[in-house]
């Protein structure tokens, strides 16, 4: 007998009881109230519960849901200030406006994910915020089965497709709930369905050991809400890593609608290095569901269910899974560019910045640097003859200092060990290499040069590998360290000049034959400053191109380069004619300009050039030729560096 018939029987008994009372004697109000309560209790006992209490929500609600419980939810959201129903719109239909209100309510009340789907988690929070006497929902059709909140008759899965974005996923060491495979399941139009169980089968790809050596847990999620979780060791070799898992109530797909069933794995925190990159495949062998008639059906063939292929995924070490990468790049060009460094013949020169570089911690892991090495290359003197101390400065703080013994070797490395430098994931630090130089004497002579460089992922015959760990304490391999940085060669002088570019106007054409073809000359101009240090400087007044025969009477020296970068003046090729003059703000004394010690004077050079062939040409200041301390013949050529600062733009000339 159905509950509805039982209810009618009890109701009839209720009527006869009232009649009996009225014929025996006049019933008091108290007697009638007691009798009504008694019969209501009998109805509740026979039907397994009572009608839903006012304000209670007992089923999942989402886009397209209709009915009284949607209205209850909407009015509650209105009272709480999350929803404003448009004028003229009736309550009882769950649309996009209600979904947005639910999502905001979920976010404010810690229900995650806040997608706007009012499921089991949301109902639990709603019940906590709105205590209601629990009731058992009644049946809503004429059959004997209690089908809860499912509507419709016989149901089926009309389609099941793999979620395209979940393919070849990587489960990282120590990562939690990494989604590896999923099905989008569609209910047919005949009935709502509730997913009650799923059979999962894991199979080895390149993996060689049991699943629990790679994963700690397997979890199952429906539309973003967890519906099952179990230890990975429940998938055993004896059972061919196959298991049927029961799902929590509430995984409901409404008739004609879709839902996502997703499997996620949590990686072990101590993945063996030999297990990194190993693969597994997951297949959904069957889906068990309940329909509106309370029938439980197992589907093993619709769509991608039991497709024989599955979805493949791999397990990765922590570094690979987090996208970890230590990346080095160049820092400030004002430090790295080639320049003159003034040193002394009587004392050391300290705290000169010669290399700037950046270290970036890419990915999702912090980096801890224990050791960091800096390489040095020298010309004209040994690294140990030039340097006595190198210091490492990170974001303004000194984190390491290393000494150099005197040596004529032209290469060397400073290993800054135990620097205890941590770079947070996503952050970048600025690093400066600061050096103390020896006084000029012995093997360290005027004009010696030095450069510094870092290259964390390469070990040369004189460099040392960096010691870096990730936030799990594992050593970061050279494969996860990229980039490099180097300064240009810096030159050292105890007496001399520093040349600094000021302006390089765009060169112009001078046409010597009117409208006729050709006959063009190139006109180039450049302005630069010259500063004298440790002595007065005498610069001859002449200007010339930089051939091998630069004379003692040539003060300013330049080159002309073609489009390939060849300095034509140095090899004599392609040069028809060239001439140049220069002026200076320095005091002129005979055939010299004089720059007193500590003074800076401006020089302006004008070049006229005719090539032998049509093409593009640039002019460049090569250097300044001078004598320190007297007006005798010039004996020192100071090169203009860095070269790029002293080169004009190109000019197309038709001679």
pLDDT band at 41 (very low <50, low <70, confident <90, very high): very low
pLDDT of residue 128: 81
Is the CATH code 2.30.29 the one for domain 326-493? no
Stretch 573-595: mean pLDDT: 86
CA-angle at 308, arms to 306 and 311, nearest 5°: 90
432-479 pLDDT, tens digit per residue, is 999 999 998 878 887 899 999 998 876 554 557 788 988 877 788 777
Q: Give the span between the Cα atoms of 16 and 27, in whole angstroms.
A: 14
Q: Which tokens sit at 533?
A: 């240090």
What pTM, to 2 d.p., does this model score? 0.50
Q: How far is CA 628 from CA 69, 342, 349, 605, 637, in A?
A: 97, 15, 21, 22, 11
Q: What is the DSSP string of 121-161?
A: HHHHHHHHHS----------SSSSS--TT--BSS--EEEEE
CA count, 13 A, side-chain hemisphere, 353: 16
- Partners of 266 in the β-ladder: 217
Window from 206-210, 537-541, 572-576 with minimum mean pLDDT: 572-576
For residues 300 and 156, the answer to whether their CB atoms sit within 8 Å is no
pLDDT of residue 36: 44
Q: Where are the alpha helices (DSSP H) in 356-469?
A: 383-386
pLDDT of residue 551: 66
Burial 513-527 (b: 16+ CB within 10 A, else e): eeeeeeebbbbbbbb
Residue 434 is classified by DSSP as E
Instruction: Of 185, 186, 147, give the one whose Cα is nearest residue 290.
Output: 147
Residue 81: exposure state from Cβ atoms within 10 A (0-12, 13-18, ≥19):
exposed
For residues 106 and 82, the answer to whether their CB atoms sit within 8 Å is no
Q: Which tokens sit at 187?
A: 């209910």
- DSSP E strands, 512-553: 520-533, 537-540, 542-545
| Residue 628: other Cβ atoms inside 10 A | 21
Tell me whether strands 542-545 and 554-561 are parallel, antiparallel or unpaired. parallel
Residue owning tokens 């009644």: 138
Q: Which tokens sit at 262?
A: 């997703």
* pLDDT over 60 (residue 390): yes
pLDDT of residue 274: 84
For residues 368 and 459, the answer to whether their CB atoms sit within 8 Å is no
Window from 340-349, 571-580, 617-626 with minimum mean pLDDT: 571-580
pLDDT of residue 602: 97
- DSSP E strands, 147-241: 157-162, 169-172, 178-187, 193-204, 215-222, 225-231
Q: Give the span between the Cα atoms of 309 and 596, in whole angstroms.
A: 85
Q: Which tokens sit at 120?
A: 């089991």
Stretch 265-273: mean pLDDT: 86
pLDDT of residue 33: 38
Q: Give the span between the Cα atoms of 358 and 169, in whole angstroms.
A: 32
Query: What are phi and psi for residue 234, nearest 5 degrees?
Result: -75, -15
pLDDT of residue 569: 54
pLDDT of residue 566: 67
For the chain, what is the mean pLDDT? 84
Q: Which tokens sit at 640?
A: 């203009």
| Residue 338: other Cβ atoms inside 10 A | 18
Record: fold of 157-321? Immunoglobulin-like (2.60.40)
Q: How far is CA 355 from CA 312, 330, 459, in A?
A: 47, 9, 19
479-533 pLDDT, tens digit per residue, is 788 889 999 999 998 888 999 999 999 999 999 887 778 889 999 999 999 999 8
Contact partners, residue 564, CB within 8 Å, separation at least 6: none
- DSSP E strands, 506-640: 508-511, 520-533, 537-540, 542-545, 554-561, 575-584, 587-589, 592-595, 600-611, 615-628, 636-639
* pLDDT over 90 (residue 340): no
Q: Give the span between the Cα atoms of 405 and 434, in whole angstroms.
A: 17
pLDDT band at 149 (very low <50, low <70, confident <90, very high): confident
Residue 530: exposure state from Cβ atoms within 10 A (0-12, 13-18, ≥19):
buried
pLDDT of residue 630: 92
* pLDDT over 50 (residue 177): yes
pLDDT of residue 189: 95
- Partners of 470 in the β-ladder: 367
CA count, 13 A, side-chain hemisphere, 433: 30
For residues 330 and 485, the answer to whether their CB atoms sit within 8 Å is yes
Q: Give the span between the Cα atoms of 354 and 352, in whole angstroms.
A: 6
- DSSP E strands, 178-324: 178-187, 193-204, 215-222, 225-231, 242-246, 252-253, 258-267, 279-290, 296-299, 311-316
* pLDDT over 70 (residue 583): yes
| Residue 627: other Cβ atoms inside 10 A | 20
Stretch 353-362: mean pLDDT: 94
pLDDT of residue 543: 92
| Residue 577: other Cβ atoms inside 10 A | 11
Using DSSP's 3-state secondary structure scheme, residue 120 falls into: helix
For residues 394 and 429, the answer to whether their CB atoms sit within 8 Å is yes
How much is the CA Rg of the chain, to the nearest whole Å? Answer: 43
Tell me whether strands 225-231 and 485-486 are parallel, antiparallel or unpaired. unpaired
Residue owning tokens 């004997």: 144
Window from 208-217, 337-346, 581-590 with minimum mean pLDDT: 337-346
For residues 173 and 324, the answer to whether their CB atoms sit within 8 Å is no
- CATH code, 49-138: 1.10.101.10
Q: Give the span between the Cα atoms of 585 and 593, in whole angstroms.
A: 9
Q: Give the span between the Cα atoms of 467 and 478, in whole angstroms.
A: 10
pLDDT band at 47 (very low <50, low <70, confident <90, very high): very low
Element holding 451 (H helix, E strand): strand 449-454
pLDDT of residue 322: 59
pLDDT band at 140 (very low <50, low <70, confident <90, very high): very low
Stretch 48-54: mean pLDDT: 41
């Amino acid at each position: 007998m159905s509950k509805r018939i039982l209810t009618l029987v009890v109701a009839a008994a209720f009527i006869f009881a009232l009649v009996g009372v009225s014929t025996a004697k006049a019933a008091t109000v108290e007697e009638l109230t007691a009798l009504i309560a008694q019969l209501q209790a009998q109805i509740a006992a026979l039907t397994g519960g009572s009608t839903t209490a006012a304000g209670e929500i007992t089923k999942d609600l989402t886009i397209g849901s209709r009915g009284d419980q949607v209205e209850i939810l909407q009015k509650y959201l209105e009272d709480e200030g999350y929803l404003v129903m448009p004028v003229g719109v009736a309550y009882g239909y769950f649309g996009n406006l209600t979904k947005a209100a639910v999502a905001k309510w979920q976010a404010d009340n810690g229900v995650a994910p806040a997608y706007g789907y009012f499921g089991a988690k949301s109902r639990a929070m709603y019940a906590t915020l709105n205590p209601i006497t629990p009731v058992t929902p009644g049946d809503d059709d004429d059959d004997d089965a209690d089908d809860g909140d499912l509507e419709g008759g016989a149901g089926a899965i009309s389609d099941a497709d793999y979620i395209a974005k979940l393919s070849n996923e990587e489960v990282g060491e120590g990562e939690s709930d990494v989604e590896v495979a999923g099905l989008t399941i569609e209910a047919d139009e005949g009935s709502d369905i509730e997913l009650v169980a799923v059979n999962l089968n894991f199979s080895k790809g390149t993996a060689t050991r049991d699943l629990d050596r790679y994963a700690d847990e397997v979890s199952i999620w429906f539309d973003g809400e967890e519906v099952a979780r179990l230890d990975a060791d429940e998938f055993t070799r004896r059972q061919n890593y196959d298991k049927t898992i029961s799902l929590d109530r509430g995984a409901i797909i409404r008739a004609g609608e879709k839902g996502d069933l997703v499997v996620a794995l949590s990686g072990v925190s101590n993945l063996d290095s030999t297990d990194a990159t190993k693969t597994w495949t997951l297949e959904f062998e069957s889906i068990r569901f309940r329909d509106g008639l309370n029938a439980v059906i197992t589907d093993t063939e619709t769509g991608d269910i039991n497709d024989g292929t599955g979805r493949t995924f791999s397990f990765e070490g922590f570094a690979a899974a987090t996208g970890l990468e230590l990346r080095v790049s160049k820092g400030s060009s004002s430090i790295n560019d080639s320049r003159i460094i003034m040193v002394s013949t009587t004392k050391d020169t300290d705290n000169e910045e010669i290399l700037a570089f950046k270290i970036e911690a890419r990915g999702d892991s912090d980096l801890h640097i224990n050791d960091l090495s800096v390489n040095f290359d020298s010309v004209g003197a040994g690294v140990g003859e030039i340097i006595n101390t190198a210091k490492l400065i990170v974001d303004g703080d000194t984190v390491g200092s290393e000494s150099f013994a005197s040596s004529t070797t032209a290469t060397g490395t400073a290993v800054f060990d135990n620097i205890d430098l941590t770079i947070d994931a996503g952050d970048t630090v600025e690093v400066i290499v600061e050096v103390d130089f020896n006084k000029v004497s012995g093997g360290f002579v005027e004009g010696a040069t030095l450069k510094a460089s870092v290259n964390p992922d390469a070990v040369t015959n004189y460099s040392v590998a960096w010691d870096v760990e990730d936030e799990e304490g594992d050593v970061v391999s050279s494969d996860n360290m990229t980039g490099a940085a180097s300064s240009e060669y810096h030159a050292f002088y105890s007496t001399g000049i520093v040349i600094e570019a000021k302006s390089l106007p765009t060169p112009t054409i001078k046409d010597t034959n009117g409208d006729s073809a050709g006959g063009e000359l190139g006109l180039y101009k450049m302005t630069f400053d010259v500063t004298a240090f440790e002595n007065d400087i005498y610069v001859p007044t002449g200007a010339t191109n930089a051939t091998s025969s630069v004379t003692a009477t040539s003060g300013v020296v330049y080159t002309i380069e073609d489009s390939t970068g060849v300095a034509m003046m140095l090899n004599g090729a392609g040069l028809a004619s060239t001439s140049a003059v220069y002026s200076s703000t320095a005091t002129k004394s005979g055939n010299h300009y004089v720059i007193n010690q500590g003074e800076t004077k401006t020089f302006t050079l004008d070049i006229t050039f005719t090539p032998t062939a049509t093409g593009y040409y640039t002019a460049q200041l090569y250097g300044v030729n001078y004598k320190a301390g007297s007006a005798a013949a010039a004996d020192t050529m100071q090169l203009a560096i860095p070269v790029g600062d002293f080169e004009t733009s190109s000019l197309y000339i038709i001679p």
